[in-house]
Structure 1
Amino acid sequence: MAGCGSMMTREADRTAGMSAPQLYQEARDNVRSNDYKTARTYLEAVEARYPYSSFAQQSMIDQAYVNWKDNEPEKAVAVIDRFLRLYPSHPGTDYMLYLKGLVTFTPPSSYLRSLTGQDPSERDPKGLRQSYNAFNELIQRFPESRYSRDARQRLTWLVSTIADNEVNVAKYYYTRHAYVAAINRSQSVLKDFSGVAAAEPALYIMMQSYQQLGMPDQANDAKRVLDQNYPNSKYYEQGLDGSGGWFSWLSPSRVFN
C-alpha cells in the first residue's frame, strides 16, 4: 500500500506547478513520439487547471485527436461534442466536425473483405450515420473549409453504404414474412437517398411485399416505378437470392439498428 501510494504521488506530481504553455508543450512532445496516454495526461491537466485560457480550448482539440489515435473513439466523440457545445463559433469547429466524421467512419477495405467476405453495408449503421451527420454538417456550415472536399468524397460512399444497409434489413424482414416492415425500410431508401443503386432492390422488395399482402394496386405502382427506372432489372429473373445467396449472411445481430 505504501508503494502504491508513492507511485500515485509521483504520478500526481508530474504536472504540479507547470504553466499552461509548459503543460501544452509536454503534451505536444508526447504526441510527436506517439505516447498518446501521457499526452492525454498533460492535455487534461491544461483544461482542468486553466479552463478559461486559449490553451484549454486547443487542448480539447488535441484530446479528441489523441483519443482517436489511441483507439478510444467514444472518448474522442465525447470531447468533440463537448467542444462543439462550449465553443460553437471557434475557428477549429470545422476541423472538429471533420474529426468526428473520421472517428466513426470506416472505409471499404478490399483486403479485409477478401478475408471475411463481409460487405461494409453489413456493419452496425449507427457509426455510419454519425459519420454522415458530422460530414454533412461540416459541408453545410463550412462549404469552403479545406476539409470539405474530402468530406464530400466520404459522404458519397456513406450514402451508398447506408442505403445498402437499409436494403439488407428490408431483405431480412421479407424473408421473415414481416412485409410491412420490409416496405417501410424500402421506402426509406427511396425517400432518404437519391440516385443510389440500392433503389432497384428496394423497389423490387416493395413490389413483392405488396403482392404478399394482397395489395395489387400498390404492387403495380412499385412495379411501374421499377420498370421506368430499371427496365431490364435483374431481379425479375434472379429474385432476391439469385446472385450468390443474398440471405446466407443475414441475421438480426448484423443488420438491426
Structure 2
Amino acid sequence: MTNIDATLPSAAAKLGRKGTIAIRVVLLCSLVALAGCLGKEDDSDQPDIPAGELYNQGLKLMSEGKLRAAATRFGEVDKQQPYTEWARKALIMQAFTYYRQGKYDDTIEAAKRYVALYPASPDAAYAQYMIGQSYFKQIPDVTRDQESTQRAIAAMQEVVDRYPNSEYVDDAQKAIIVARDQLAGKEMQIGRYYLERREYPAAINRFKSVVIQYGNTRQVEEALYRLTSAYYAMGIVGEAQTAAAVLGHNFPDSPWYKDAYSLLQTGGVSPSENRSSWISKAFQTVTGLGKT
C-alpha cells in the first residue's frame, strides 16, 4: 500500500493544525461563564443546562483533552436545540472531536449531517474535507477490498467541485492522486497474479485498465512493461512492441523500459509503435503524454 502519510501532510496533523486555529478563535469568542459550568465528565444527559453553556463545556473539555466527554456535550446541544446556531457550531465541533479520537465512522456521520444541513456554511468545506480524510485514513492494504479508497476519492472530489475556493482544495487534489494510485496498484496486484498463472488475457485486461483509467499514476510504467510481457508470451509480438515503444517514448529512463527492451531482444525484435494500436491511442488520449 502507498504510504499515505508520507505522501500527503498527515491527516491528523492537517486537521489538527487547522482545527486548532478554528478552536482558538471559537474559544476566544466563547469564553462566556465557563467557570462552574462543568459537572461530572461522564454526565451526558443534562436537560436543564442551556445549549450555550453545554457548548462552552464541550470547548473546555476539548481543551483539556477530554475528547469523548466533549463530543457528548456537543451532542447534547443538538438534542436540546436542533437546527439552531448553537447546534450548527456544536455539530462541526463534534465531528472534529470524533476525528481526533480516530472514530472515523462517527466523524463521517456527523460531518455528512453537517454538510446536509448547512451546505452554505463557512465550515461546510471543512466538514466535507473531514469526510474525505476519514475515508482516507481507512484505506487498506492493496491486497484488500478498496471500497474506502473509492469513497475517499468521491468525498475529496466533492471538496474540489463544491468548494473550489476553499483552503482544502489543494490537499483534496493530492489525496485523490494518492488514492487513484492505490486503485491502480490494486489492478496491478491482480494482473500480476494472473500473469504468474499464465492467464494472459485476464492479466492484459487488468493492465489495460491501469493504462486507460489510471494513466497518470505511477503504476502506468509497470503496466506497460507487463503488457509487453503478456502480449509477447501470447505471441502477439506487434502489441508487445507497441507497449514497449510507448513505455520508452514517455519513460526512457525507466527500469521497466530497460526490462521491456531486453525481453524483446531475446526474440530478436525491438520496440516499435503501431499508432493504430489501442495502447498507442489510449495512452495519448488518457494521459496526454503520448508521442505526437
Q: Do they fold alike, i.e. is TM over 0.5? A: yes
Shift of residue 94, structure 1, vs aligned partner: 0.7
1:6 corresponding residue in structure 2: none
> Does residue 1:173 correspond to 2:194, yes or no?
yes
- One-letter amino acid of the structure 2 residue matched with residue 82 of structure 1: R
- Match for residue 32 of structure 1 among 63, 66, 70: 63
Aligned partner of 1:235 among 251, 255, 259: 259
Q: Distance in 1 between matches of 2:83 and 2:113?
A: 15
Larger radius of gyration: 2
CA distance in 1: counterparts of 2:153 and 2:44, whole angstroms:
42
Q: Residues 198, 11 of structure 1: CA spacing in aligned structure 2 closer, same or farther, 3 A cutoff?
A: closer
> What are the residue-to-residue correspondences of 1:127-142 with 2, within 5 Å?
127-142=148-163
Q: How many residues align?
A: 219
- Measured after TM superposition, the shift of residue 21 of structure 1 is 0.6
TM-superposed deviation, 1:229 = 2.5
Q: Which secondary structure state, in structure 2, belongs to the residue aligned with residue 234 of structure 1?
A: helix
- Deviation string 1:16-68 (CA, Å, 9 cap, x unpaired) is 20111111111111111111111121111111221121222222211211111
Contact kept in structure 1, 2:244 and 2:260, CA below 8 Å: no
2:54 paired residue among 9, 23, 29: 23
- Counterpart for residue 133 of structure 2: 102
- Over aligned residue pairs, what C-alpha RMSD do you find? 3.2
Cα separation, 1, equivalents of 2:259 and 2:143 = 21
Matches within 5 A, 1:33-52: 33-52=64-83
2:93 aligned partner? 62
Unmatched segments (≥5 aa) in structure 1:
1-9, 108-118, 240-257
CA contact (8 A) 1:201 1:235 kept: no
Given that residues 139 and 151 in structure 1 are in contact (C-alpha distance below 8 angstroms), is that contact kept between their aligned partners in structure 2?
Answer: yes
Cα deviation code 1:140-161 (max 9, x no counterpart): 2222212223333444444444
SS at match of 1:17: coil
Distance change (3 Å), C-alpha of 1:82 and 1:182 = farther
Structural mapping, 1:166-245, within 5 Å? 166-212=187-233, 215-216=236-237, 218-231=239-252, 233-236=257-260
Partner of residue 33, structure 2: none
Give the residue type in structure 1 aligned to 2:114: F
TM-score normalised to the size of structure 2?
0.63
Query: What is the aligned partner in structure 2 of residue 3 from structure 1?
Result: none
Q: For residues 62-107 of structure 1, what are the alpha-carbon distances to aligned partners after superposition, in whole Å with 9 as ceiling and x for unaligned? A: 1211111112111111222232233333322110121122223359
- Which residue identity does 1:26 align to in structure 2? Q
* Letter of the structure 1 residue corresponding to residue 71 of structure 2: R
Ranges in structure 2 where 5+ consecutive residues have no aligned partner: 1-40, 264-292
CA distance in 2, matches of 1:199, 1:13: 53
Counterpart residue type for residue 225 of structure 2? Y
1:236/1:218 Cα in 2 relative to 1: closer, same or farther (>3 Å)? closer
Structure 1 distance, partners of 2:199, 2:117, is 45
Q: Give the fraction of aligned pairs with identical amino acids, expressed as a percent.
A: 26
Give SS of 2:165's match: coil
Shift of 1:124: 5.4
1:143 lines up with 2:164 in the alignment: yes
Q: TM-score, normalised by structure 1?
A: 0.71
Residue 104 (structure 2) aligned to one of 67, 73, 97: 73
